Amino acid sequence: MSKSAEIDLASVSKIYGKTTAVDSISLKIPAGSYCCLLGPSGCGKTSTLRMIAGHETVSIGDIVLGKQVVTDLPPAKRGTAMMFQSYALFPHLDLVDNVAFSLKMAGVDKPTRRARALELLKLMQMDAYADRRPGQLSGGQQQRVALARALITDPEALLLDEPLSALDPFLKIRMRAELKKLQKQLGITFVHVTHSQEEAMALADLVVVMSNGRIEQAATPREVFERPATAFVARFMGDHNVISGKVTGAGNGLVDFTVVGGGSFSATGAPLPLGADMDVAVRTDHVRIGESLQPGLGFTGIISNIEYRGATVKLTVEGAGISEFTAIHQANRETCHDRQE
Amino acid sequence: MNALLARATPYLQATPLLLILGFFLAVPILLLLVVSFWDYDFAGIYPDFLTLNYAEALGSWVTWRIYANTLKYAVIVWAITALVGFWVAYFLAFHVRTATMQMVLFLICTVPFLTSNIIRMISWIPVLGRNGLINSGLTGAGIIEQPIEWLLYSDFAVVLAMVHLYTLFMVTPIFNAMMRIDKSLVEAARDAGAKDWQVIWNVVLPLAKPGIAIGTIFVVTLVMADFSTVQVMSGGQSASVALMMRNQMSLLQYPAAAANAIVLLVLVLLMVAGMLRIVDIRKEL
Q: Is residue B167 a part of any domain in this protein?
A: yes
Q: Which residues of B120-156 are buried (b: 16+ CB within 10 A; e: fewer)?
A: bbeebbeebbeebebbeebeeeeeeeebbeebbbbbb
Q: Is residue A234 a part of any domain in this protein?
A: no
**Into how many domains does chain B fold?**
1
pLDDT in tens, A271-311: 777 777 888 888 888 888 877 777 767 777 888 888 888 88
Question: Does A75 lie at the interface with B, CB-CB under 8 angstroms?
Answer: yes
Cβ contact A28:A191 at 8 Å = no
Inter-CA distances, B136 with B120, B143, B153, Å: 21, 10, 17
Q: To the nearest whole angstrom, how far is the Cα of B98 from the nearest Cα of chain A? A: 14
A269 & A218 share domain: no
A141 & A172 share domain: yes
Q: To the nearest whole angstrom, how far is the Cα of A98 from the nearest Cα of chain B? A: 10
Cβ contact B51:B37 at 8 Å = yes
Question: Does A145 lie at the interface with B, CB-CB under 8 angstroms?
Answer: no
Q: To the nearest whole angstrom, how far is the Cα of A42 from the nearest Cα of chain B? A: 19
Burial level of A58, CB count in 10 A (0-12/13-18/19+)? buried
Contact flag A84-B198 (C-beta cutoff 8 Å): no
Q: To the nearest whole angstrom, how far is the Cα of A154 from the nearest Cα of chain B? A: 11
pTM attached to this predicted model: 0.79
Q: Is residue A222 a part of any domain in this protein?
A: yes
Q: Return the residue in A70, A84, A94 with the most chain B beta carbons within 10 A, the one to mutate for interface testing.
A: A84
Q: Is residue A85 a part of any domain in this protein?
A: yes
A11 & A97 share domain: yes
Confidence class of residue B285 from pLDDT cuts 50, 70 and 90? low
Q: To the nearest whole angstrom, how far is the Cα of B283 from the nearest Cα of chain A? A: 12
A214 & A268 share domain: no
Question: Does B207 lie at the interface with A, CB-CB under 8 angstroms?
Answer: yes
Using an 8 Å CB-CB cutoff, list chain A residues near B191: 53-55, 75-76, 81-82, 102, 150
A149 & A293 share domain: no
Residue-number span of the structural domain to which B123 is assigned: 60-284
Cβ contact B78:B220 at 8 Å = yes
Q: Is residue B264 a part of any domain in this protein?
A: yes
Long-range contacts, B121-124 (Cβ 8 Å, 24+): B121/B161, B121/B164, B121/B165, B121/B228, B121/B229, B121/B232, B121/B233, B122/B232, B124/B152, B124/B157, B124/B160, B124/B161, B124/B164, B124/B233
Inter-CA distances, B3 with A84, B7, B8, B11, B15, Å: 52, 6, 9, 14, 19
What was the pLDDT predicted at B284? 55
Q: Return the residue in A50, A102, A151, A154 with the most chain B beta carbons within 10 A, the one to mutate for interface testing.
A: A102
Q: To the nearest whole angstrom, how far is the Cα of A82 from the nearest Cα of chain B? A: 7
Size of the A and B interface in Cβ pairs below 8 Å: 61
Q: Is residue B9 a part of any domain in this protein?
A: no
What was the pLDDT predicted at A339? 40
Residue-number span of the structural domain to which A39 is assigned: 7-226
Q: How many CA atoms lie within 13 A of A57 on its CB side?
A: 5
Q: Is residue A51 a part of any domain in this protein?
A: yes
pLDDT in tens, A214-243: 888 888 989 888 888 888 998 888 888 888
Q: Is residue B16 a part of any domain in this protein?
A: no
ipTM of the complex: 0.76
A191 & A322 share domain: no
Q: Is residue A2 a part of any domain in this protein?
A: no
Question: Does B198 lie at the interface with A, CB-CB under 8 angstroms?
Answer: yes
User: Distance between CA A108 and CA B190 in Å, rounded?
Assistant: 17
Question: Does B278 lie at the interface with A, CB-CB under 8 angstroms?
Answer: no
Q: Is residue B263 a part of any domain in this protein?
A: yes
Contact flag A105-B189 (C-beta cutoff 8 Å): yes
Contact flag A74-B207 (C-beta cutoff 8 Å): no
A86 & A202 share domain: yes
Tell me the three state secondary structure of residue A24: strand
Question: From the list B182, B190, B206, which residue is nearest A75 (CB)?
Answer: B190
**In this model, does residue B176 exceed pLDDT 50?**
yes
**Given its phi and psi angles, is residue A296 left (phi above 0), alpha (psi -120 to 50 degrees) or beta?**
left
Closest CA to A53 of A19, A91, A17, A88: A88
Q: Is residue B157 a part of any domain in this protein?
A: yes
Question: Does A115 lie at the interface with B, CB-CB under 8 angstroms?
Answer: no
Find the residue in A nearest to B198 (Cα).
A105
Find the residue in A nearest to B185 (Cα).
A88
Burial level of B278, CB count in 10 A (0-12/13-18/19+)? exposed
A183 & A251 share domain: no
How long, in residues, is chain B?
285
Contact flag B206-A92 (C-beta cutoff 8 Å): yes
Q: Return the residue in A16, A47, A82 with the most chain B beta carbons within 10 A, the one to mutate for interface testing.
A: A82
Q: Is residue A48 a part of any domain in this protein?
A: yes
Question: Does B184 lie at the interface with A, CB-CB under 8 angstroms?
Answer: yes
Q: Return the residue in A49, A92, A94, A158 with the most chain B beta carbons within 10 A, the one to mutate for interface testing.
A: A92
**Into how many domains does chain A fold?**
2
Contact flag B193-A76 (C-beta cutoff 8 Å): yes
User: Distance between CA B160 and CA B28 in Å, rounded?
Assistant: 32
Instruction: List % helix, strand, coil for chain B (3-state, nearest 5).
Output: 80, 0, 20
- Per-residue pLDDT of chain A (341 residues), as tens digits, is 457 788 888 888 888 888 888 888 888 888 888 999 998 888 888 888 988 888 888 888 888 888 888 888 888 888 888 988 888 899 888 888 999 998 888 888 889 989 988 888 888 888 888 888 888 888 888 888 998 998 888 888 899 998 888 788 888 888 888 888 888 888 889 999 998 888 888 888 999 999 888 888 888 989 888 888 888 998 888 888 888 888 887 777 778 888 877 777 878 777 777 777 888 888 888 888 877 777 767 777 888 888 888 888 888 888 777 778 888 887 665 544 444 33
Give residues 123 to 142 of B whose Cβ lies within 8 Å of A: none
Using an 8 Å CB-CB cutoff, list chain A residues near B198: 105
Q: Return the residue in B191, B197, B212, B278 with the most chain A beta carbons within 10 A, the one to mutate for interface testing.
A: B191
What was the pLDDT predicted at B283? 63
Find the residue in B nearest to A52 (Cα).
B191
Tell me the three state secondary structure of residue B187: helix
Say which CATH number the domain at A154 has.
3.40.50.300
Say which CATH number the domain at B256 has.
1.10.3720.10
Across B71-90, average pLDDT:
94
Question: From the list B184, B194, B195, which residue is nearest A86 (CB)?
Answer: B184
Q: Is residue A231 a part of any domain in this protein?
A: no
A115 & A23 share domain: yes
Tell me the three state secondary structure of residue B126: helix
Q: Is residue A116 a part of any domain in this protein?
A: yes
